[in-house]
Structure 1
Amino acid sequence: MVRPSFVNVLQGSSSSGSQTHVETQDNEDEHLNSNDETVVQLPNYNANVVDNNMHPLFLYNNDHPGLILISKKLIGPDNYVPWSRSMQIALNARNKFILVNGLYKKPALTSPLCAQWERVNDMIITWILNSVADEISDGLNYVTTASEIWTELYERFSSVNGHRVYQIMKDTHSLEQGNRSVETYFHKLKSLWDEYAVLEPTVSCVCGAHKILVERDQKRKLLQFLMGLHDSNANVRGQILLMNPLLSVSQAYAYVKQDERARQGYQSLTDLSPLVNSAEALRQLEHTMNQLDHK
């Protein structure tokens, strides 16, 4: 089922009972269909006039070819998955990913939207090229549509997912806290879990087995997190393992983080104790000297 982002504004609208939906099937001026069976409905505005920010071809005043949507650059297969995810979010936030995934096809040459579609398409191309390394973008300068660039990058860099999955699993099992803080260690581990979930998504189902699989996955992540903790967290690790039911991995992280802060606070007081003792000794000496002066 196709659900373009700009269609969602129709849900729950209370503007009027006579809200008009424009269906694009058999409409030459609005090629929003990915296939003959898909009918995409537009929001309630004049589809031939791009004066609404919910229109996919609408551009803001600050939209320009030099705009950098995301900070990370695509450098190759090693960071393709997180890059594509970040880029998709950025484009979807601007209601432009519908052009990239090919759902909003180029209108007919006779359409009043054709010129604007070409303009927005070229704008998206520059945004994508701005976020890839120079050695990659040099080979994409002659691709004419944003959809073709997106597809080419996917075919070029997603085919090595097997190697990346292997590397993620290896890094996950070998990752330890070491000299890192609990916070740094947990977020590094979680980023590996999240990337693995994108590369190897779980199968969704409504049966009872799905809940069991989710619980087992949470338990596996919890044990992985606890095994990599520094030995200084051995006590709190033992406490968590004795809990019934077990905490979620996020709850366990918060529990360990709280314990780490408490130990750091205690250590700070211990470090200050010599200074406190010195100050007390100085006050006692001053008191003794004062007594001698009075005699």
Structure 2
Amino acid sequence: MTKGEGSLVAKIESPEGNPNQRLCSVLLNEFNYLPWSRAITLALGGRSKLSFINNKSKIPDASSSEYESWLSNDQLVMSWLLNSMEPKLAEIFSYTESSRHLWDAVKDMYGNLNNAARVFQLKKDLAGIQQGNLSFVQHLGNLKAKWNELDMYRPHTTDATILLKRAEEDKIFQLLASLGSEYEDLKSHLLMTPELPSFATVCNSIQREEVRKMVMNVNTSIRGSEARAFAANKSVTSDRTYKGKRPDLKCTHCEGIGRAGIGHIRERCWILHPELKPKFNEEQKIKEAPLREALTSLIQRETSATLLKV
């Protein structure tokens, strides 16, 4: 989410016909389509090439004498656009038929995405930005670059509905920013949804994730306890004077009641001495019972009504 930072002022470079040049100083990535597209339109407008991407340029007939000149210019614009993208994106769009198709394909893929992730990152950066060793002019430049980009995503408005929506979004952003690093996957999922969920929905998602993590931790603890019990039982067994079912060891008590009695002696017989039988699993279940009950209660608890009042 940290990509796309910096100034996006279009640069008019020469010579105009150089296919290897870039149209703006920052390359297109998954998060900066809006400022990138603005910089590209300014750059192409300054070169009188904007008509190649805005559907105002009529494609000549392939048999026309003008077609070769149009194709040359169109491929030049395509080269500029591809050079103004990160390499991985340029590779994706490199086989489009024309600059107009390329422009539309990029817009379809990134132009309709929810910008919440970028707004969240900008607000987080602005809240934590410090001058450090930068001069005041450099520090102010960094701030203005972020302010300007934020204004593009959130233009000034007096619409009460939009302002209320932004106020709720800001609460969501503050909440997500306050979460620990173990919630990074959930934060990314929520911010990249086509429409940012409501505050109540976000709270519910966080609580469900918390419960899931608790359940996973309990399961991990149980597996660890079982492993420790097995190791302890093995250790106890290894300390005995015999290992496994030794045919030379026989229990006279078991033989007397019709059992085989092979592998242990009377002094180690669990029937006569039940206290010798391993109790690790039973003891662990008793210890974990309250936690299991608490988790079950937490999962079943109704939270929506309370969260909606927040």
Over alpha carbons, which structure has the higher Rg?
2
Normalised-by-shorter TM-score class:
0.3 to 0.5
TM normalised by structure 2 equals: 0.42
TM normalised by structure 1 equals: 0.43
